């Protein structure tokens, strides 16, 4: 199990980034959150089995079809026991 926090910059708000991310996380059965930040970035946290978390981080590097991802910062954190995924932090 691991937890990571990602900060995604580029054209990532208003392009269904949060909705698609939440759907993929729910389908994968991992915990965490995704939310828009005031500076135009999207922040997400993923907690679950290593390969599943890695897959979601890889998706963040592409985003949904309408997104244009410029950068993804990834910070490994200690797991906190998050079992559900939510939009909005």
Q: Which residues are catalytic?
A: 18, 36
- What phi, psi does 40 have (nearest 5°)? 95, -10
Q: How far apart are CA 64 and CA 48, in angstroms?
A: 22
Contact 55, 12 (CB under 8 A): no
Contact 22, 85 (CB under 8 A): yes
Q: How far apart are CA 42 and CA 54, in angstroms?
A: 17
Q: Looking up tokens 């269904």, which residue turns up?
A: 16
């Amino acid at each position: 199990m691991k937890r990571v926090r990602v900060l995604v910059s580029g054209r990532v708000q208003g392009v269904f980034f949060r909705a698609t991310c939440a759907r993929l996380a729910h389908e994968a059965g991992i915990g965490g959150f995704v939310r828009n930040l005031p500076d135009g970035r999207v922040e997400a946290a993923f907690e679950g089995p290593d390969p599943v978390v890695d897959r979601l981080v890889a998706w963040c590097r592409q985003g949904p079809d309408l997104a244009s991802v410029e950068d993804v910062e990834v910070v490994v954190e200690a797991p906190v026991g998050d079992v559900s995924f939510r939009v909005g932090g």
